[in-house]
Each structure stands twice: as C-alpha cells, then as structure tokens.
C-alpha cells in the first residue's frame, strides 16, 4: 500500500497538479452512482472503473477534466446491482491508449441503494462548517460510516459571487483531510444556504447578478443526479430506500418571481420547484420523507428575512397539501441559525410534524436565535453538532431514530418516531383543545396533557354547577384565572374557532373602565403584558346603562410592504356588540368566535351576533398560550363567575354548528367536514 500511495503521489506531481479534489462519491441510486474528481489544473481524459469487492472490473465510464468546469471531471456509472458493495478507481487515458492509474485504494468504495426498501440506512446532515473547527465532526461522522452525508447549507462559507473565489472555497472544503477521506467512501450531496449561495441573507433578487456564478461552482463541486430545473436552482432529492431526502432551494428563486400560491406576494420556491416538490412527494415510496433546507421553517425573529415565516403562505400551502393528500412520513429539517432545536407541531399535517434544526458544525454559536416558539421541545446552544437519521424498515412498524450528536460519541438528544405516528387518519380530528372542567383542569382533545390548564390564585372547579358536570369557578376579587401553557393552533392559522359557556356573577359597571376578560392569548405561554392577543374576548361597559359590550381584538399577519421585508403583526379591533345585561348576568350564555383570515364572527346562543371585517386580511399572528378568565397578563381584568366547555377547532364553524352546540351538543362529538383543511 505504501508503494501504491507513493506511485499515486508521483503521478499527481507529473500532472502538474496545483490542487486536486477527490475522488468524491456523489448521488448513489439502486443501479447507478455519480462521482467527481479534479486531477489538478490539467485537461485529461479519465476513466473511472467500478470493481466488485473481489477486484474484478464490472464497468468503465470515461470523462474529461475540462478547464471550463475548473478541471472537475464527472462520472455517471449505470447498470449496477441493487444493494451491492463496490470499489472504484480512476485512471488517466494517455495517447498510447494504456490507462495509467491515478486514484485507487481500499478506501475507494460505495454501496448501491437497496431497491427493496428493506435495509437499515443512516443519513447525516450538517450545516455551518469551517476549516479546523469542524474537523472533529468529520472524524466522528467517519466513525459512524453513514450511508449518506448531506452538506446542508453554509457548507462552506463563501460570501462572494466571484467565480474563482467561489471555486477556491469549494476546493478548500472538500480537501479538508477528514472530510476528503470521508467523501472517498461515502455519498456526499447537499444544498446551499445564504453564505454558499454567495451573500448573507441572500435571495434571488439581491444576488441576481451573481447567482449564475455561484451556481456554476456549486454544480462543479457536487456530483448530484440533478440540479434544480436544469438551468436554475439546485434543488434535488436523494432516495436511500427507507429515507428519501428532498433538498429544497430557498435561495435561487426567492423574491425574484410571484408566488405560485399567492401571486401578489413574492415566491420562495418558485413555480418550477413548487411543482417539483408536490409531484415528488406524491410519487415517493419511502416510509420516511425529509423536507430539508439550509433555512428554517419558522421565524428567526431577527432583522433577517431568510426563513419560511417570511413566506408563510407557501410553507402553509405545502403543509396543507401534505395533509389533504394524506402523504405519510414527513419530517422537517433546517439549519442556518447556529443553534440546534427540536420542535413538534401538533397535528399540523394530519399527524404531528417533527421539525429538526441542526447548526452549527463549527464552534460559533448565536444564543440570541434560540428564541421562543410554541412548538419548541428542546434546544442546545453549542457548536460542533450534527444530526444522524437512522431508519429501520425491518420492523413491523418502521422507525426513524434521530440523534443530535457531537464528537466523542456524545448524543445530546434522541427522538424515536414510529411510521404509524406519521400517517394521517382518514377523517382528521379538527378539535384541537377542549377543557370540559367537569372535575379537573385537564384537556380532553387529542393533544392531551400538553394543554392541561393550570389554576392561579385559587381558581377552582365548581362541582355540578356547569352545563354538564362541573365548571371553572373564578372570583374577580381574588384575580383568579387558568393558564394554558402551550399553543393549540397551526402556526399562522388561516381558520379556526373557539367556543365556551359563561355565567357571569357580575358585569362591568356602567360608566366604569372595568373590563372582564373571558379569555386572551399570551405571547409565550405564560402570563405577561407582551401583546400577542390573536384570541381576545371580553365584556366591557356600554354607552347604554342597560347593556354590556361583548368585545373582540385580534392580531394577524400583514404581508411585507416592500421586497425583502418581513411580514408584520397587525392589530384589529376593538369590535363590539351590545347585549342586554339581564340576558347575561347570572345566566348561562354560549359564545363562539370564528376566524377565517378575512373576518371575525361572533355567535351568541346559537345566533350570529356580529361580523367584523379584517383589513387587511391575513392569518393569525403567533401566540403561545391562553388565559381563561383574564387578559394576557393574567391579573387585573379578570372574569367573575363560571366558565365551562371551552373548546378550540382548527376549522371555521358554521351557523349550524353554533346552533348544535347551543342546543346541547358536546364539542368532542361535533361532526365536521375537512372544511378549510
């Protein structure tokens, strides 16, 4: 082996090698494989030979290292056997016709994908890497021997569109010793994020003049099956059998064309990629499907706009498509923010949507981006992290085990997901929250204990005093309320409803400034003054001493006012309708508020009591939880009396639904169509 390595070194020297790259394994399928190799700054005729494990040549494919492609040669080998291990080598084809071996060794090997989808597979995803800092991570990944390594954005940091500099930085990444060793035997694919696209917070508009150069270099230094639509973008997919990864490109098309979902707003994915995503998801046979990109799927909550919150309409249309088409096995992956996070969006696509953020692979962290989100389950603000996905389709119920890892065989978080948990029911349950308050503060919807209410200041259950069984009893003088610590609606929900029964012991006095809140949403799941009151329902004094106002407020998202700007929360209200005091005080009354992004409607005792237009229209702004019996701060504007049967649906209830509930229908037995799902 030492003699062979010396021989190869002499060969590279004789080629006038300035900087070799590879060989690297790229996309691998069940019967084919892609490779790249740069033999220095020399235009050479090259031959890649695939060998059996015993050393017999199975097939050859020729390519040329051309100056126009920075001397990178690409090889596509076909007619291989599924689920089979191979070796490979590369030779120069000289004028004599005799091949001269220039790349060989026991570490040049790969395995084709098992077409039966019955083999265990492991994929590793990493983003935000730098020379030196990430070396221990590459070494750790190498020890795991994964079936795929995904360079998932900011891999490397480039921040220029000058072609020679972009190429040089790609070469430097692939030539870092532990990664170079890994790439010789492990399929390496990827996507870009802003820094390797060429500009911090870059998009298709602000890098319009430079993105062709950054794309050219990206294509040269990735051996993928495809790159975007062939001339634009770099999106593609990798099918490992048990896992299929959809590498999405949120950069090339963003801000440069109208959205295919909402033509009055800028696109993120663009019409070609959008059509490809939908078609590819419907066609996928993999039990686990990963929607992966360098950006994140939520709001970064900083001054930048390169996240899917900026394009919430495309994000939500994609999730709604998955739910409507009942596409199983979806999970999310993102990077970018130099913080690792795990979120669980309950029921979002007909089943719970797991969302993994992996960043960074280097040591530089950004603690300020570890922000609140109502679906956040776990986070870690440390460097040198990567994500390992291990799918086991051999079980009766296939599993996907996701591990947040660091060097030293350190596992920081493990999430095990059964395939049966990622399958939509034929008729999804649209009831998202339900507090009957019969004997306790528990939530009775499918979201379970994550939404159990917490009593404050002595709030209690009044046994046998409710519509059915018990009710929540609140004393205004004691400033009592109940807090729901988590959100129960989809991110930026476009349509939902909330209902409750109330029996006020007292009402706001006429000519006073008193306000008795039935409920109001909170910003971060706990009582606080910060405004996030998408849901807000109160009783307030009326100009008529014989009446009281039922009053609504709301916060929705307003689209960006100019290119490359973020959407902003917009306040609506107060909207109010007056009702006789005698019909409310010490009487059970049923209330429903519905929201459909264009209007709020309120029903009182089964009848429409008010309709309020939202200008501009928009989906719900983010909120984190709910106060029942008070406003968002918890104390100071509390309700006095009984509240019962509080329920929330991820759909817009109809007038018939309102009448059914008023006439004794239980929230958990209400029959609903898919509605706006």
The pLDDT tens digits of the residues spanning 262-295 come to: 999 999 999 999 999 999 999 999 999 999 999 9
3-state secondary structure of 178: helix
Residue count (the chain): 677
Q: Decide which of 3.40.50.300, 2.60.40.1580, 3.40.50.740, 2.60.120.200 is the CATH code for 431-669.
A: 2.60.120.200
Omega into 399 within 30° of 0, i.e. cis?
no
How far apart are alpha carbons 215 and 236 in whole angstroms? 14
Intervals of CATH 2.60.120.200 along the chain: 431-669
The percent of residues above 70 in pLDDT, for the chain, comes to 96
The more confident residue out of 653 and 15 is 653
Sequence-distant (6+) residues with CB within 8 A of 68 are none
Which tokens go with 581? 């005091």
Average pLDDT over residues 656-667: 96
Average pLDDT over residues 29-42: 97
Sequence-distant (6+) residues with CB within 8 A of 218 are 166, 170, 192, 196, 227, 234
Contacts 24+ apart (CB under 8 A), 279-284: 280/237, 280/246, 281/246, 281/321, 281/322, 281/325, 281/327, 281/330, 282/325, 282/327, 284/239, 284/244, 284/327
pTM for the structure as a whole: 0.94
Mean pLDDT of the chain: 95
Q: Is the pLDDT of residue 1 over 90?
A: no
CATH assignment of 1-114? Answer: 2.60.40.380
What is the per-residue pLDDT for 657?
97
How far apart are alpha carbons 528 and 137 in whole angstroms? 41
Among the listed residues 407, 646, 628, 621, the one whose alpha carbon sits nearest the alpha carbon of residue 532? 621
Handedness of CA 400, 405, 410, 415 (dihedral sign): negative
What is the per-residue pLDDT for 609?
96
Beta bridge partners of 390: 122, 401
The CA-atom distances, in angstroms, between 394 and each of 24, 100, 397, 627 are 30, 44, 8, 46
What is the per-residue pLDDT for 11?
42
3-state secondary structure of 273: helix
CATH assignment of 116-422? Answer: 3.60.21.70
Number of Cβ atoms within 10 Å of the Cβ of 208: 11
Give the residue carrying structure tokens 């802003």.
Answer: 194
Q: Is the pLDDT of residue 37 over 50?
A: yes
How far apart are alpha carbons 132 and 584 in whole angstroms? 70
Q: Is the pLDDT of residue 6 over 80?
A: no
What is the per-residue pLDDT for 673?
60
What is the per-residue pLDDT for 319?
98
Strands 376-380, 121-126: pairing kind: unpaired
How far apart are alpha carbons 635 and 632 in whole angstroms? 8
Intervals of CATH 2.60.40.380 along the chain: 1-114
């Amino acid at each position: 082996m030492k003699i062979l390595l010396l021989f190869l070194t002499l060969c590279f020297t004789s080629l006038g090698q300035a900087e070799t790259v590879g060989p690297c394994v790229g996309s691998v399928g069940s019967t084919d494989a892609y490779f790249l190799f740069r033999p220095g700054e020399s235009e050479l005729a090259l031959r890649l030979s695939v060998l059996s494990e015993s050393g017999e040549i199975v097939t050859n494919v020729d390519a040329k290292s051309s100056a126009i492609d920075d001397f990178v040669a690409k090889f596509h080998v076909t007619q291989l056997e599924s689920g089979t291990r191979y070796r490979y080598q590369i030779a120069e084809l000289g004028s004599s016709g005799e091949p001269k071996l220039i790349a060989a060794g026991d570490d040049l090997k790969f395995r084709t994908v098992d077409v039966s989808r019955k083999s265990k597979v492991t994929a590793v995803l990493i983003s935000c890497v730098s020379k030196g800092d990430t070396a221990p991570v590459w070494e750790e990944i190498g020890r795991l021997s994964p079936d795929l390594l995904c360079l998932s954005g900011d891999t490397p940091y480039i921040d220029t569109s000058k072609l020679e500099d972009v190429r040089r930085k790609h070469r430097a990444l692939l030539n870092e010793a532990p990664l170079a060793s890994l790439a010789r035997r492990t399929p390496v694919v990827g996507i870009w994020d802003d820094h390797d696209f060429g500009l911090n917070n870059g998009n298709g508009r602000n890098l319009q003049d430079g993105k062709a150069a950054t794309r050219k270099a990206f294509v040269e230094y990735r051996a993928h099956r495809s790159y975007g639509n062939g001339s634009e973008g770099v999106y593609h997919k990798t099918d490992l059998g048990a896992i299929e990864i959809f590498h999405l490109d949120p950069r090339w098309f963003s801000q440069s064309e109208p959205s295919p979902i909402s033509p009055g707003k800028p696109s993120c994915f663009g019409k070609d990629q959008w059509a490809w995503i939908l078609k590819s998801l419907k066609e996928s046979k993999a039990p686990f499907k990963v929607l992966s990109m360098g950006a994140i799927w939520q709001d970064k909550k900083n001054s930048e706009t390169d996240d899917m919150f900026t394009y919430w309409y495309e994000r939500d249309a994609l999730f709604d498509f998955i739910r409507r088409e009942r596409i199983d096995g979806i999970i999310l992956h993102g990077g970018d923010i130099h913080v690792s996070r795990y979120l669980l969006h309950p029921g979002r696509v007909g089943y719970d949507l797991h969302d993994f953020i992996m960043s960074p692979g280097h040591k530089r962290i950004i603690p300020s981006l570890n922000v609140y989100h109502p679906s956040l389950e776990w986070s870690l603000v440390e460097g040198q992290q990567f994500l390992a996905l291990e799918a086991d389709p051999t079980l009766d119920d296939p599993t996907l085990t996701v591990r947040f890892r660091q060097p030293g065989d350190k596992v920081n978080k493990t999430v095990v997901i059964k395939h049966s948990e990622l399958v939509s029911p034929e008729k999804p349950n649209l009831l998202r929250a339900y507090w009957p308050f019969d004997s306790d503060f528990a939530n009775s919807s499918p979201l379970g204990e994550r939404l159990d209410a917490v009593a404050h200041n002595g709030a209690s259950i009044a046994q046998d005093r409710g519509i059915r069984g018990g009710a929540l009893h609140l004393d205004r003088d004691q400033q009592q309320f109940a807090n729901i610590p988590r959100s129960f609606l989809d991110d930026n929900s476009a349509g939902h409803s909330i209902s409750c029964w109330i029996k006020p012991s007292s009402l706001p006095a006429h000519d006073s400034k008193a306000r008795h809140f039935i409920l109001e949403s909170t910003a971060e799941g706990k009582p606080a003054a910060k405004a996030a009151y998408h849901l807000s329902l109160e009783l307030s004094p009326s100009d008529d001493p014989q009446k009281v106002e039922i009053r609504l407020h709301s916060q929705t998202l307003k689209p960006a006012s100019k290119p490359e700007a973020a959407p902003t929360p917009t306040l609506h209200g107060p909207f109010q309708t007056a009702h006789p005091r005698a019909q409310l005080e010490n009487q059970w009354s049923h209330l429903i508020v519905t929201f459909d992004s264009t209007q709020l409607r309120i029903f009182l005792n089964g009848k429409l009591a008010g309709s309020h237009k939202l200008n501009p229209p928009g989906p719900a702004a983010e909120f984190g939880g709910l106060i029942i019996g008070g406003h968002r701060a918890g104390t100071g504007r509390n309700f006095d009396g009984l509240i019962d049967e509080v329920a929330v649906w991820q759909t817009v209830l109809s007038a018939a639904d309102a009448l059914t509930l008023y006439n004794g229908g239980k929230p958990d037995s209400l029959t609903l169509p898919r509605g706006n799902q």
